[in-house]
Structure 1
């Protein structure tokens, strides 16, 4: 048992999917897992463990932003033995060719700051996905004919951003989308020798202003979850 997760020993699977929203964790567990059971609800951060195609899987909320994600990723790996962490979440598109509901698979995650920045001091660490997971996710998306984009994303440490100049620079340099967690997830996984990937559904568009409803954000991301599950076990 850790400070923020009260699951019993053995309740957390080695493969963990991490949506930011705890209610998305509940929806995904009830939709995709066989015999899901609640294993954590400390501070309302819901976690469920069940099986997918006979494989143990935990789906656990991570909260919003890198500090919250860092807490859960560290404790899941350090205290519960998780070895594969896949973020499933929403993002904002930053390229014209990307549409709402497209899937982005994050190869790298640029950022201004993460909770781990103090560890590296003068080093600009480059957070990157696990290659077997990345390759397996791209293959899973291709087999489903899902409109998918693979490349770099931006992990922001603020939601209400007032840096249009920075957004323009990132768009010009090919950044596909913006979210708030992946850079720290990739860093924590690297620190502990675990595997990490972010598979994201485009919920809004920074260039057009288009956006999905909150209900669609919570329950409409089935393809993303299926790709994440297929990738987690195809990459073993």
Structure 2
């Protein structure tokens, strides 16, 4: 029994989705063929089920690096091996709008939790196989799917540095969020596989605009579909390798 998520090994599948939002966790679980509620301890809402016979788990992690770190460490103690974050983000790019989805190829490390695992110079990058599956599934959904660099930070309401923001925008940073750097760094350090798909909920000029509420929900639904299809693809590829 893990301290915070209060689960046992039989409760957790090798393939795990880690959204921040608890409602999003339920939406992901609704895509399972069979889903059972496992736990809601300490802000982690956990469901386990199957997708076409493949065992999968979803665990909401709340907001920020520390929650992600504790959650994925304990999930991995119980057998989790592949993590896909299904999150939300803002954007710096004028060609991205609310409802678009973004698959990060790497993350600027503006948070602090991951520094306890690897030094700041170590890149926060997803697993290539997970990234490839997410990119191909995202692009198959049509326009409004972007692939590129994201940025993570710890303090949502802190006053940002306009000069740094301008540099990031010029460098093509697409998404601003709070968890991917931690997930990617810990996964690299521990030998797990991880990736992410994000639904944009704010433009380069407006944070979470009311006019974009439905567009974001549509993008969230799309991101969930991409993540589930990508995870199924990853699991099937694992099965093929094991059988070879």
TM > 0.5 fold call? yes
Tell me how far apart the structure 1 counterparts of residues 187 and 117 of structure 2 sit (CA, whole Å).
14
Aligned to 2:16: 16
Q: How does 1:216-231 map to 2 (within 5 A)?
A: 221-231=220-230
- Aligned-residue Cα RMSD (Å) equals 2.0
Deviation of 1:112 after TM superposition, in Å, equals: 2.5
Tell me how far apart the structure 2 counterparts of residues 90 and 28 of structure 1 sit (CA, whole Å).
14
Aligned to 2:177: 179
1:114–1:183 Cα contact (<8 Å) kept:
no
Aligned to 1:47: 46
Matched, 1:64 2:63: yes
Deviation of 1:100 after TM superposition, in Å, equals: 0.9
Deviation of 1:43 after TM superposition, in Å, equals: 2.2
Aligned to 2:232: 233
2:157 to 155, 160, 170: 160
2:99–2:218 Cα contact (<8 Å) kept:
no
Tell me how far apart the structure 1 counterparts of residues 136 and 13 of structure 2 sit (CA, whole Å).
24
The Cα offsets for residues 137-186 of structure 1, whole Å up to 9 and x where unpaired, read as 11112222142111110001110131222211211111001000000000
Deviation of 1:221 after TM superposition, in Å, equals: 1.3
Tell me how far apart the structure 2 counterparts of residues 98 and 90 of structure 1 sit (CA, whole Å).
13
- Equivalenced residue count is 233
Matched, 1:194 2:192: yes
Tell me how far apart the structure 1 counterparts of residues 16 and 128 of structure 2 sit (CA, whole Å).
17
2:29–2:49 Cα contact (<8 Å) kept:
yes
Aligned to 1:37: 36
Aligned to 2:142: 145
Deviation of 1:14 after TM superposition, in Å, equals: 0.5
Tell me how far apart the structure 2 counterparts of residues 125 and 4 of structure 1 sit (CA, whole Å).
28
More helix by share: 2
The Cα offsets for residues 166-221 of structure 1, whole Å up to 9 and x where unpaired, read as 21121111100100000000011111111100100001113345635668757861
SS, match of residue 10 in structure 1 = helix
Gaps of 5+ in 2: 238-244
Gaps of 5+ in 1: none
Tell me how far apart the structure 2 counterparts of residues 62 and 211 of structure 1 sit (CA, whole Å).
24
TM-score (norm 2): 0.88
**In the superposition, relative to structure 1, how do residues 100 and 217 fare at CA in structure 2: closer, same or farther (>3 Å)?**
closer
1:95–1:207 Cα contact (<8 Å) kept:
no
Give the stretch that moved more between structures: 156-165 or 101-110.
156-165
Matched, 1:126 2:120: no
